[in-house]
Homo-oligomer: A and B are copies of this chain.
Amino acid sequence: MAKSRFEYVRNYELPDPLTPNTFIVVRVDGKGFHKFSDVHEFSKPNDKRALDLMDAAAQAVLEEYKDVVMAFGESDEYSFLLRREAKLYNRRRSKINSSIVSLFTSAYVFHWQRFFPETTLKYPPTFDGRAVMYPSAREVRDYFSWRQADTHINNLYNTTFWALVHGGCSTTESNRILQGTTSKDKNEILFTRFQINYNNLPEAFRKGSVCVRKSSREYGECGSTAMVDNGVSHAAECTDLPKKTSAKGKQAKQFLGVDGKAVVLHLDIIKDEFWTARPWLLI
């Protein structure tokens, strides 16, 4: 069997390395999730089971890939941050991107039944992904601010829209009412018509999900040894952590190596606090 005669076709597999020492963000997006959420009767505007399932899939990615130091999710999308010095798969773009999308998808289907015990999965859902390079920490901060600002805008709109619909308006009418409204207008509609104080809604809906690894050092020295899935209060974290880890280099990198579990938080990632408390994210 003349294997070698055909093997030249391998030469068409060209290298596609990402520039060294840039931050890499892989964003995974649901394909046709409008239909998918209808078919599986997701509650609107937010289905906690669906969001928790997304979080579980993201956790699987963080637990598999140590170079993925953080993720942020909302709705049917999740963004994964690979640290600047990541060497994963020699930084091959297609390999990194496809592996993360595949694991995320696989975990989503794998864990479906745990989060939707009474809903049969009717067909296999699909996600796509893209890997983007960011040269500096500033851009990474702005990237995640962009996604969280988007979460807020979409959720405020959807919350008001579905309040109107559940209150009896048609979808057409609800869209018309919301056209051209400001954030303040929507808050007003929610409060005066439906007695909903937007700021009292669950943070998971208003802020999306952040998935980060808790370093063992935090566990050890702070004593907060419990693995917490949701709602870890930010205040409870080690306050002496930043000082000890802010130095770029060996010390900081040890935090990446430990087997901290990936936990899901719902908090502001636009302001500095989240980032200064976790200096290893942007080194």
A residues apposed to B, CB below 8 Å: 1-3, 5-15, 17, 19-22, 31, 60, 64, 93-95, 97-99, 101-103, 105-111, 121, 123-136, 139, 142-143, 145-146, 149-150, 152-153, 183
Q: A1 with B149: in contact, given A22-B19, A106-B105, A142-B9 (CB under 8 Å)?
A: yes
Instruction: Decide if B106 touches A136 in the complex (CB within 8 Å).
Output: no
Neighbouring B residues of A135 by C-beta, 8 Å: 19, 21-22, 133, 135-136
> For A17, A106, A127, A153, which residue has the most chain B Cβ atoms within 10 angstroms?
A106
Neighbouring B residues of A150 by C-beta, 8 Å: 3
> For A15, A111, A124, A183, which residue has the most chain B Cβ atoms within 10 angstroms?
A124
Instruction: Decide if A128 touches B15 in the complex (CB within 8 Å).
Output: no
A182 to chain B, nearest CB (A): 10
Contact pick for A98, options B98, B106, B183, CB 8 Å: B98
Instruction: Decide if B98 touches A19 in the complex (CB within 8 Å).
Output: no
Instruction: Decide if B99 touches A97 in the complex (CB within 8 Å).
Output: no
Contact pick for A152, options B1, B17, B99, CB 8 Å: B1
Instruction: Decide if B102 touches A128 in the complex (CB within 8 Å).
Output: yes
Instruction: Decide if B9 touches A133 in the complex (CB within 8 Å).
Output: no
Neighbouring B residues of A107 by C-beta, 8 Å: 124
Copies of the chain in the assembly: 4
A146 to chain B, nearest CB (A): 4
Look across to chain B and name the residue whose beta carbon is closest to the beta carbon of A156: B1
A105 to chain B, nearest CB (A): 4
Neighbouring B residues of A11 by C-beta, 8 Å: 20
Q: Once bound together, how far apart are the Cα atoms of A216 and B179, in whole Å?
A: 47
Instruction: Decide if A101 touches B103 in the complex (CB within 8 Å).
Output: no
Instruction: Decide if A15 touches B17 in the complex (CB within 8 Å).
Output: yes
Neighbouring B residues of A149 by C-beta, 8 Å: 1-3, 6
Look across to chain B and name the residue whose beta carbon is closest to the beta carbon of A110: B124
Neighbouring B residues of A111 by C-beta, 8 Å: 124
Contact pick for A183, options B1, B97, B142, B153, CB 8 Å: B1
> For A10, A94, A108, which residue has the most chain B Cβ atoms within 10 angstroms?
A94
Neighbouring B residues of A128 by C-beta, 8 Å: 94-95, 98-99, 102
